[in-house]
C-alpha cells in the first residue's frame, strides 16, 4: 500500500457504495468516510429543529454552525451519535434538497478534503471523483438496475423496523437520481477516468475484492 491514497467511489443511491467502501476500508486497513452521512446528518438536524427543507438560507447557516464527526460507522452530530436516525424515510426523501444547496456543498467538501489530506481513505458519495478529489488515486463508479437498488433499500429499511412499499421506494430512488444528476452544484456524473462497475448481480464482497485487486495491481 502506498503511503497515502484516496479511493473514490461514486454512484446513485442503492448501488452499494457504502457497503463496498466499508469492506474495502476494513480489508486494506484504511479509513472509511461516508460523505452522504454528512448531508444526512445536516438534514436530520434541520428536521429536528423544524427547519423546512426548502429553506436553503437557514440550512446553509445551520451547516456552518454544526459539527459532524465520522468515526468508522459512527456519525456524531454536535457530539451526539445519530447514525441510527439519519436513514429514516423522511431523511431519505429530503436529503437531496439539502445536498443540492451550493453553500452546503462548499462547506461539506472543505471538510471532506481535510479528512483525505492526512491519511489513506476510501470515500463514497456522488461527486468524490469529479469534484471533491478530482485527482484521487483510484476512481470507481457503481451502478445497478433500479429494481435491484429498490430491493436493497427496501430490505435496509425493513431491517431497521420501517414499513415500506416497494413501488414508493423505487419512485423515491428515481426522483433522487433525477435531482442528483440535474442539480447545479456538483451533479452526479461519472468521472471520465473512473471505472464503472455494475453491481446488480454481484455481492458487496465480489465488488470490494475486484476494486482491491485493481488497487493492488496498480501499486
Handedness of CA 107, 109, 110, 112 (dihedral sign): positive
Is 15 one of the annotated binding-site residues?
yes
Number of Cβ atoms within 10 Å of the Cβ of 98 = 27
Sign for the pseudo-dihedral over CA of 188, 189, 191, 195: positive
12 annotated as belonging to a binding site for a ligand: yes
Rounded to the nearest angstrom, the gap between the alpha carbon of residue 163 and the centroid of all alpha carbons in its chain is 23
Q: Are 13 and 128 in contact (CB under 8 A)?
A: no
29 is in an annotated binding site: no
| 11 marked ligand binding residue | yes
Helix axes 35-48, 56-65, angle to 10 degrees: 110
Q: Is 134 annotated as a binding residue?
A: no
37 labeled part of a ligand binding site:
no
**E strands present in the chain:** 6-10, 31-34, 68-71, 74-77, 80-81, 121-125, 138-143, 195-198
| Residue 8, annotated as binding a ligand | no
For residues 193 and 139, what is the distance between their CA atoms, to the nearest angstrom? 7
Residue 41: its H or E element = helix 35-48
157: helix, strand or coil: helix
Known binding site: residues? 11-19
Known binding site for ATP: residues? 11-19
Amino acid at each position: 500500500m502506498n503511503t497515502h491514497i484516496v479511493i473514490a467511489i461514486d454512484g446513485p443511491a442503492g448501488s452499494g457504495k457504502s457497503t463496498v467502501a466499508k469492506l474495502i476500508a476494513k480489508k486494506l486497513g484504511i479509513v472509511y468516510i461516508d460523505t452522504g452521512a454528512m448531508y444526512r446528518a445536516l438534514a436530520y438536524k434541520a428536521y429536528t429543529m423544524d427547519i423546512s427543507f426548502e429553506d436553503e438560507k437557514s440550512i446553509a447557516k445551520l451547516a456552518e454552525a454544526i459539527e459532524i464527526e465520522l468515526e468508522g460507522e459512527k456519525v456524531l452530530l454536535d457530539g451526539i451519535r445519530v447514525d441510527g436516525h439519519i436513514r429514516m424515510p423522511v431523511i431519505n426523501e429530503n436529503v437531496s434538497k439539502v445536498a443540492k444547496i451550493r453553500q452546503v456543498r462548499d462547506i461539506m467538501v472543505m471538510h471532506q478534503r481535510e479528512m483525505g489530506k492526512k491519511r489513506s481513505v476510501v470515500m463514497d458519495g456522488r461527486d468524490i471523483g469529479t469534484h471533491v478529489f478530482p485527482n484521487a488515486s483510484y476512481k470507481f463508479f457503481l451502478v445497478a438496475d433500479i429494481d435491484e437498488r429498490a430491493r436493497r433499500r427496501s430490505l435496509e429499511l425493513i431491517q431497521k423496523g420501517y414499513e415500506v412499499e416497494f413501488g414508493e421506494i423505487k419512485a423515491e430512488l428515481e426522483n433522487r437520481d433525477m435531482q442528483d444528476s440535474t442539480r447545479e452544484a456538483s451533479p452526479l456524473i461519472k468521472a471520465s477516468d473512473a471505472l464503472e462497475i455494475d453491481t446488480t448481480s454481484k455481492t458487496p464482497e465480489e465488488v470490494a475484492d475486484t476494486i482491491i485487486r485493481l488497487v493492488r495491481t496498480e501499486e
